[in-house]
Copies of this chain bind each other. A is one copy, B any other.
Amino acid sequence: MKNFLARLFGKKAAMSIDISIIGTGNMGRALAARTLAAGKNLQVLARDTEASATLAAELGGGTTGGNLTEAPAGRIVVLALPFDAAKEYVTAQGAALDSKIVIDITNPVDFSTFDSLTTAAGSSAAEEIAALTSATVVKAFNTTFAGPLTAGSAAGEPLDVFVAGEDSARTEVAAFATAAGMRPIEVGGLHHARELEGFQLLVMAMQANPALPDFNWGTALKIAG
């Protein structure tokens, strides 16, 4: 059954997929909602083929599902995976990611303390992932929580999507964010993923802190004014 679905949806996906989302968790679902809102053709790939098929059916809009071992069809591949799984994924895909844009949304937070990153000082998850793949890696959507991202807004304002990466790929991801109803903020080269991941550590720690009941994963990091 799994192989059957994989082949079925894999075939459907062959022609015109714009974006492949890897992962069916909260962030994968939220980004899928934004992708469809942007009018893009979408493929969802996951370790559990049936889960991706079910999600694809729920999403509608011609969305296809498949297994994450398949070569992704989209020009843009969004890694809606935890950091370690994202590294494994790009390593396993190898040349299948050639000439693609890979969006890294991860936050390499030590979730046992919410007080430090798991990456070395002077590095970032995005740069570590980039070192493992021939794809052009762009950092984006690491400061947007799943709830607000599903809506595309928080407190009645379009979400700010901070984007770091090489110029042309970054511009392409920024255009996607705009098409999806959000405000891209291009912050420069991929090394600036360090600052995006660093600050999000603080923002996530706020949400996880029971002493701060106003911050419960529904907030958005914003440049106001």
Contacts and interface: CB of A to CB of B under 8 A. Distances in A.
Interface size class of A (residues with CB under 8 A): 20 to 34
Interface in A125-176: 148, 154-155, 157, 162
A181 interface: no
A215 B225 CA distance: 8
- A interface: dominant SS: mixed
Given A122-B122, A188-B202, A223 B225 contact: no
Interface in A91-147: 115, 121-122
A179 interface: no
Interface string A186-213: 0111001011101101110110000000
Q: Which of A115, A222, A225 has the most CB of B within 10 A?
A: A225
Interface of A: 115, 121-122, 148, 154-155, 157, 162, 185, 187-189, 192, 194-196, 198-199, 201-203, 205-206, 215, 218-225
Contacts of A155: 224-225
Given A121-B122, A225-B154, A225-B155, A202 B220 contact: no
